[in-house]
Amino acid sequence: MGATLQPVEVFADLDRLLEAVRPDTVVVVDAGLANRRPDVVREREALAWIAVPGEGGAPCEQPIVSHLLEHGWSHVIAHPMPVLAEELLATVQKILRADPFSLEKYVAWGAEVRRYRLEDAEERDAAVTALAKDVIAAGSADRVGGLASVIADELLANALFTAPIDEHGARIRQSEPRDRPRRLQGRDVVTLRWATDARYLAIEVRDQWGSIDPVAVARRLARVSQEAATTADGGMGLPLAYACANQFIIGLAPGRLTEMVALIDLRFRPTELSRVASFHVFSGENPPGVGS
Amino acid sequence: MSSNTLQLGRLSVTTSSNRLELSGRLDDAAPLSSLATSELAREVVIDTGGISFVNSIGIREWMRLLRTLREAGIRVTLESVADVLITQMNMIPEARGDATISSFHALYVCEACGGEATPKIEVAPHRDALANLQAPSVPCGECGGKMDLADYPERYLTVFRP
């Protein structure tokens, strides 16, 4: 937090912390403490509440992350140091600067960003193939290529078939066959972007509907390991993408744009990170266009 | 025993009366439940070792196939379960159903050379260890060193817990 040059106060217990919280405060809480009192996020308005691995520096385990997501936490960082420092800094800067969109926040300056703008819903496979080719060409392991393909496929399917709504909020494309051509024009245009800096592979999908309910998504992700959430006919796509990622970030401009960014950490083996991905939701009023 | 090969989207399926071999992509274009025909024997082995990609629609089709076979009273043994599918089975109980898993692929890494591979692990010789979430070590195909499971055991082995 010191890297933001903002004043930092440290408290040993939640009650003393609450007394100090103001509407413009970014609150960072040990996930273990947050887990014991998850509704603390509703006790005092703040700019953001962020849960981070605390006790002993161990990663956040799935039950804690799920518990916090169920209780409406918008920012849960699951990974220990050094990922924690990078992720916390990016999160806090996005919040303080009110600049919540785009994958460039997560890769080093100068990393080349590739883009695929879908002109037809049928191009989903072509976009995923283009991404997978790039990932392998960049020297990533087959494992990473597989994860990236699943993430891109599911995020694109969500943007193409779940995001579109009518004037009553009904999801008008949800039941459509997914292997048929459909020209994408106006609000239907969807983009896939990706970049890597040898630390992360970042994958971003944008749609122009801004129709997602991040609280509902968080709850669905929280229940990913529970049978009830995974035997229903739909709704498995985002939990699957989340399960393949190390960080999962939703940017939302209601009615205008939904941006989903998934990060795969290329430096560490799976067992050196948390079993579960970090989760963030950001809201913003001035989103970029899908093509930018 | 005669066998046929058919194409479901980008999934290739070789069928005989008691064996299905699946390879390729298990996705929107693969209506798997069409494989549950009356010509199948009462015990069927499904080999998924050649599956390279599974998305959420594909896993739904897979669950429908297992459910249809179960409702038809057909006992299913899963052989060479693909790495991309065994992880789904550990996350979604219905993706395994009540089928028996005889072998599976898992992501392994060599401590000596850092090489990664997805060797096939036979269940029977390691049943007790797998039930305790302990994956066996295997020799590295590159350097002969010792390869160990490269991921959290829960992601691969929860299905073997009693």
User: Chain B within 8 Å of A267 (Cβ-Cβ)?
Assistant: no
CA distance A143 to chain B (A): 8
Residue A90: name the closest of A258, A255, A216, A251 by CA.
A251
User: Chain B within 8 Å of A102 (Cβ-Cβ)?
Assistant: no
pLDDT for residue A231: 45
Complex ipTM tops 0.90? no
- Mean pLDDT of the residues in chain A: 89
pLDDT for residue A291: 58
Q: What are phi and psi of A272, to 5 degrees?
A: -90, -5
Count other C-beta atoms under 10 Å from residue A57's C-beta: 9
What value, to the nearest 5°, has the Cα angle with vertex A262 and ends A257 and A265? 155
CA distance B92 to chain A (A): 6
Q: What percent of chain B has pLDDT over 70?
A: 99
**Do A243 and B91 count as a contact with CB atoms less than 8 A apart?**
yes
pLDDT for residue A248: 96
CA distance B88 to chain A (A): 9
**Do B56 and A240 count as a contact with CB atoms less than 8 A apart?**
yes
Q: Which two tokens stand for residue A283?
A: 């809201």
User: Chain B within 8 Å of A167 (Cβ-Cβ)?
Assistant: no
Interface residues of B toward A, Cβ cutoff 8 Å, are 9, 27-29, 52-57, 59-60, 63, 84, 88, 91-94, 107, 109, 116, 150-152, 154-155
Q: Convert A35-63 into a string of H (helix), E (strand) and C (coil).
A: HHCHHHHHCCCCCEEEEECCHHHCCCCHH
Which amino acid type is present at position A99? D
Query: Using CA atoms, how far apart are residues B104 and A119, in angstroms rounded to an integer?
Result: 39
**Chain B residues touching A182 at Cβ < 8 A:** none
Specify the range with the lowest mean pLDDT, choosing from A201-210, A271-280, B34-43, B45-54.
Answer: B34-43
Q: Convert chain B into a string of H (helix), E (strand) and C (coil).
A: CCCEEEEECCEEEEEECCEEEEEEEECCCCCHHHHCCCCCCCEEEEEEEEEEEECHHHHHHHHHHHHHHHHCCCEEEEECECHHHHHHHHHCHHHCCCCEECEEECCEEECCCCCEECCEEECHHHHHHHHCCCCCCEECCCCCCEEEECCCCHHHHHHHCC
pLDDT tens-place string over residues A154-175? 999 999 999 999 999 999 999 8
Which amino acid type is present at position A229? A
Q: Are B89 and B58 in contact (CB under 8 A)?
A: no
Q: Please give the residue of chain B at the shortest CA–CA distance from A270.
A: B151
Residues constituting chain A: 292
pLDDT for residue A6: 79
pLDDT tens-place string over residues A112-157? 999 999 999 999 999 999 999 999 998 888 889 999 999 999 999 9
**Do A270 and B151 count as a contact with CB atoms less than 8 A apart?**
yes
Query: Using CA atoms, how far apart are residues A167 and A48, in angstroms rounded to an integer?
Result: 31
- The residue among B26, B55, B149 with the most chain A CBs within 10 A of its CB, best to mutate, is B55
* Residue A271: strand, helix, or coil: helix
Higher pLDDT, A179 or A206: A206
Which of A178, A236, A270 lies nearest to residue B152, judging by beta carbons?
Answer: A270
Query: Using CA atoms, how far apart are residues B77 and B69, in angstroms rounded to an integer?
Result: 11
